[in-house]
Structure 1
């Protein structure tokens, strides 16, 4: 079988939810995402293609690793029922940059605020969260070739997963809110600048276009976070030039205004 056929077969074998398997386009998009994580183009991917659980995603990943389609350094992580495939070294480097360079903008979107506000990424609860993530990543690195998903226990129930996902997925901007008070936010009817990075996967004889990143920033704060956005884009372009699996990297921005925003 060709490389693409192997990826599709693995997805359709291991990632069925009930009687429903992933379609060929869904399988190819997932394959491209996993390859991007393996290449370090993105630190992790959050699996949301269907209702397949962490054990199924681990079987899928192990199948790819046994077929030598991706490296054995990738691991499966379960955060309170949310499953990710992570590149531990890439994610750890990202978190350490947050600690030392403060190169990720954290935006407070608590429902009680009149408008979104930039906050210090190392203040109180955020410092504790970043420290907890770093300890988790160090533990992941020791697992080497894990045969089972890494389940994060009760500690992750205290985390603001919106912030955690933003960090793990490598976004230059991520949202935070005080979830002990409310899970609602102040982004309703707020103009948002959405940044999306896409590329073409060069596999076998055809191409598959996929979105590698998609995140938003309140348009009113765009100038304030411009440095973080530029650093992220420059870093992505540099990493992109060091591989030959993907081509035609495109970064586009568009503005949207929604009556409500669910995170």
Structure 2
């Protein structure tokens, strides 16, 4: 069997939700995403192809690793019921860089604000969350999902997802105050990155930044693009990197 056929067979065997398994196209898209994480083009993938649980995602990873299709550095993370596939080394390196050189813009979108503002990454609530993540993600390999347990209930998961997925901007809000935000009818610059893998388009990144903060966040956005392009040039599995941007304005934004 070819590598593509092995990827499809593993996905359809391990990732059934009820009686429904992934289609061949979904399986190939997932394979491209997993390969991107394994290559360090993105530190993590939020699994949302179907309702498969973290244990099933780990079984899928174990199958791929036993076939030699991906490295042992990939782990399954169970974050409050959400399944993520992470490159442990890439995530740790990214979190260290975030704290060390302020490479991520954290945007406060609390409902009580008139408009979004960028806050200091060293803010106590954000910094302690990153440090907690660092201490919990010390494993280099695991054959079962890493469950972060009750600790993550205190975190703003929107911020955590942004950090784990390697975005140069991430949103934060005081969830003790409200889960609503101030992004309604705010023009948002949506930045997306994609590539091709064995003829299939692989969507690597998609995130937004309020257009009014683009200039303030521009240095972080440009550095993110340069780092992604450099990593892309160091591999030959994915091809034709494309980074695009568009602007949207929505009556409500769910984070």
TM-score (norm 1): 0.96
Q: C-alpha offsets along residues 51-100 of structure 1, whole Å, 9 cap, x if unaligned?
A: 10000000000000011000011111101101111111101111011111
Taking the aligned partners of 1:230 and 1:30, their CA distance within structure 2 comes to: 28
Size of the aligned set, in residue pairs, is 255
Describe how 1:54-203 pairs up with structure 2 within 5 A: 54-138=54-138, 140-141=139-140, 144=141, 146-202=142-198
Equivalents in 1 of 2:91, 2:174: separation in Å?
24
Q: Tell me the CA shift for residue 137 of structure 1.
A: 1.8
Residue 24 (structure 1) shift: 1.5
Please report how far the alpha carbon of residue 240 of structure 1 lies from its aligned counterpart in structure 2 after TM superposition. Answer: 0.3
Partner of 1:134, secondary structure, is helix
In structure 2, the residue corresponding to 1:35 is in which secondary structure? helix
Unaligned segments of structure 2, at least 5 residues: none
Q: Does 1:232 align with 2:228?
A: no
Which residue does the alignment assign to 1:208?
Answer: 200
Distance (Å, rounded) in 2 between the aligned partners of 1:25 and 1:159: 35
CA distance in 1, matches of 2:144, 2:202: 28
Q: Which residue of 2 aligns with 1:253?
A: 245
**Residue aligning to 2:3:** 3
Deviation sequence 1:184-233 (CA, Å, 0-9, x none): 1111111100000000013xxxx111110000000010010000000000
User: Runs of 4 or more off by more than 4 Å in structure 1?
Assistant: none
RMSD: 0.7
1:38 aligns with 2:38: yes
Unaligned runs of 5+ in 1: none
